[in-house]
Structure 1
Amino acid sequence: MRWFLGTGTGAGLVEAYAGAAPMPENAPVGFPAWLAWSHFFNLFLMVLIIRSGLQIRAERRPPAYWSPRGGSSKISLTIWFHQSLDLLWVINGVLFIILLFATGQWMRIVPTSWEVIPNALSAGLQYLSLDWPTENGWVHYNGLQQLAYFITVFIAAPLAVVTGIRMSGLWPSKMKKLSTLYPVEVARKLHFPVMLYFVFFIFTHVLLVFATGALRNLNHMFAAQGSPDPATYAANWTGFWLFVLGMVAIAAAWVAARPMLLAPVARLFGTVTTR
């Protein structure tokens, strides 16, 4: 890739499209505290959602079952945990979208110019050359980041929701025509690939966060600290230690998410049985 970018074609592409598409003049600068919190809570929930989702696929004999009070239907405790996490994830996502548009932060991740496409191509080629594109996430994302975040927030996340609802007990099963138009088999075939997309996105996202300036990026994401001028910004360790604290919380939740500890919580909302 470095050889290609050294040719006239490659150099011309990077010169014409450095990687960052133009943004509206009134686009906000910096990250508010609510965005940093929502970002962490989303990560916290996504890790547990993916874990419980894989457990559901592999589960043959559930350790326990949950049923709503006064209800005859029951689901495995693992499915109850997965769907409870889903509900929190959707609530966090709805609040995120509302605040995104209320504060103008949507301009960061919603393309407003077709120039985002050649800029995304240029940024991708620069990433592959391991010569990172010049960027300052505190002010704006490059084209590839913008497209990736847009797809994740406005396509992959809603797709995960609509397929998950179709497979859950929330689906209005009495509406036969609607169920015929949207068969559960279609939802099952889409839900797992969407999960794989999230796994790929999270892996790539975390890899590039650490490879392209860990302290600066973690300060942006976890401490809501940064500067419009990266040359004058002395990154500190605040974001890193908040990240470490967050990872400890996720690890603790991972260990705690077992039937012995989940059952007492599930009993607050219904009945838990072993058969």
Structure 2
Amino acid sequence: MSTTKNKTGAAKGKRSRIYWTVPAVLVAAVVVVLLAKWATGLSGVQSFLASYPGHSELPAGAPVGFPAWLAWQHFLNAFFLLLIIRSGWQVRTSTRPGGYWTRNNKGLIRTKTAPSKISLELWFHLTLDVLWILNGLVFVILLFATGQWTRIVPTSWDVFPNAVSAALQYASLNWPTENGWVNYNALQLLTYFATVFIAAPLAFITGLRMSAVWPKKANGLNKAFPIEAARAVHFPVMIYFVAFIVVHVFLVLATGALRNLNHMYGGSDDVSWVGFWFFVASVAVMVAAWFLARPLFLRPIASLMGKVTSR
């Protein structure tokens, strides 16, 4: 009886925190906007905004526009990342796995010890991780091979004051002028850089540390990088990606949806519906994958790579 009461009390406590979180976030947002509007009215801040309009100049010869490969990479990154977040959350919260998977100890990869059994959700999460990493390697190679890296890698120190300027403009609701076809604003540039070159590698290395692939007998390596540290970083990185996706999609739709979608999906700087319909198609594929990513459909695929059991 006491256990039931404890569970009920815990559930009420969680609901209470959620009820208080929403108005607290709204109040904080209003305060930030009011402070930003007050700050941008000061003569010193206005002078700062005039000196740093919110974007840094790109290096000479920087490419203009987005090639077709970048549209495919954008879709695949979003597709894999969405399912990685879904499966990662299932791994973290699921109490009754939809099945178990055991790797076949034969073929190219053989070990002296018996393969460990993992949940079907963890198998799906790890498989998506591998596909995401491979796609990310292709993305980075093409990024540097085509010069597109200049659009998301800082090349001058003034990117930092310009990022502060862009943040002030966003916060005051007087948003910086968007011209993503030519050049991102400094805050966007730093955010994309952090996502590609900091958050993604952190997700990879911490996930690798927690996986069965990591060498268990490498005492020095395990002491330098304990699994507890990997766990402490891996989940917050996932939260970062969720926040990035939410803000990114919101700003794409709020700062000229048709033009922005045409940049990435239509391959032009036109204001037309071409990119929008490609975007709708990509969302439909993601939604379908979200609902198909369940044990009924995962078991046949997992059985091609190992043994699937119910317990």
Smaller-chain TM-score range? over 0.9
C-alpha separation between the residues in 2 aligned to 1:84 and 1:72?
Answer: 16
Match of 2:120 among 57, 77, 82: 77
Aligned to 1:230: none
Note the C-alpha offset of 1:120. 0.5
Corresponding residue for residue 58 of structure 2? 23
Q: What is the distance in 1 between the residues matched to 2:233 and 2:115? A: 29
Q: Which structure is larger by alpha-carbon Rg, 1 or 2? A: 2
The alignment status of 1:255 with 2:298, answered yes or no, reads no
Quote how far apart the aligned CAs of 1:119 are. 0.5
Shift of residue 6, structure 1, vs aligned partner: 2.7
Alignment of 1:138-157 (within 5 A): 138-157=181-200
SS at match of 1:75: strand
Q: Distance in 2 between matches of 1:206 and 1:135?
A: 15
1:4 paired to 2:72: no
Which residue, 271, 284, 287 being the options, matches 1:235? 271
- The structure 2 residue matched to 1:58, chosen from 67, 79, 93, is 93
Query: Any idea what the Cα deviations from partners look like across 1:58-107, whole Å, max 9, x if unmatched?
Result: 11221210011135311100000000000010001100000000001000
**Partner of 2:165: helix, strand, or coil?**
helix
Q: Deviations over 1:105-142 (max 9, x none)?
A: 00000000000011101111111122221231011111
Aligned counterpart, 2:76: 41
- Taking the aligned partners of 1:130 and 1:179, their CA distance within structure 2 comes to 48
SS of the residue corresponding to residue 29 of structure 1 reads: coil
- 1:191 paired with 2:226, answer no
* Residue 274 of structure 2 corresponds to residue 274 of structure 1: no
CA distance in 2, matches of 1:205, 1:63: 33
Alignment of 1:96-115 (within 5 A): 96-115=139-158
* Conserved? CA contact 2:210–2:230, under 8 Å: yes
Query: Is the contact between residue 166 and residue 187 of structure 1 (CA under 8 Å) also seen in structure 2?
Result: yes
- What secondary structure sits across from 1:157 in the alignment? helix
1:16-73 CA distances to partner (integer Å, 9 max, x unpaired)? Answer: 0111111101111110010111011101111110011010111122121001113531
Q: Quote the Cα distance in structure 1 between the aligned partners of 2:169 and 2:115.
A: 58
Q: Aligned-pair RMSD on alpha carbons?
A: 1.1
Mean Cα deviation higher: 116-125 or 126-135: 126-135
Question: Does residue 95 in structure 1 map to residue 138 in structure 2?
Answer: yes
Q: Which runs of 5+ in 2 are unaligned?
A: 1-35, 106-113
Question: Whose relative contact order is higher, 1 or 2, with alpha carbons under 8 Å and at least 6 apart?
Answer: 1
Instruction: State whether residues 156 and 194 of structure 1, in contact with CA within 8 Å, keep that contact through their aligned partners in structure 2.
Output: yes
Instruction: Tell me the CA shift for residue 222 of structure 1.
Output: 1.7
Render the CA deviation track for 1:193-225: whole Å, top value 9, x for unaligned. Answer: 100111111111111111111111111122221
Q: Which amino acid in structure 2 is aligned with residue 249 of structure 1?
A: V
What residue is the counterpart of 2:252 in the other structure?
Answer: 209
Contact 1:20 / 1:135 at 8 angstroms: preserved in 2? no
Q: Distance in 1 between matches of 2:170 and 2:306?
A: 50
State the shift of 1:3 in Å.
Answer: 3.6
Please tell me whether the aligned partners of residues 178 and 255 of structure 2 are also in contact (alpha carbons under 8 angstroms).
Answer: no
CA contact (8 A) 2:62 2:150 kept: yes
Counterpart of 1:260 in structure 2: which amino acid?
L
Task: Report the Cα distance in structure 2 between the residues aligned to 1:25 and 1:2, rounded to whole angstroms.
Answer: 35
Distance 2:37 2:45 in 1: 9
Q: Percent identity?
A: 58
Which residue identity does 1:121 align to in structure 2? Answer: V
Q: Structure 1 residue 120 and structure 2 residue 163: aligned?
A: yes
> For the residues of structure 2 that align with 1:6 and 1:238, how far apart are their CA atoms?
40
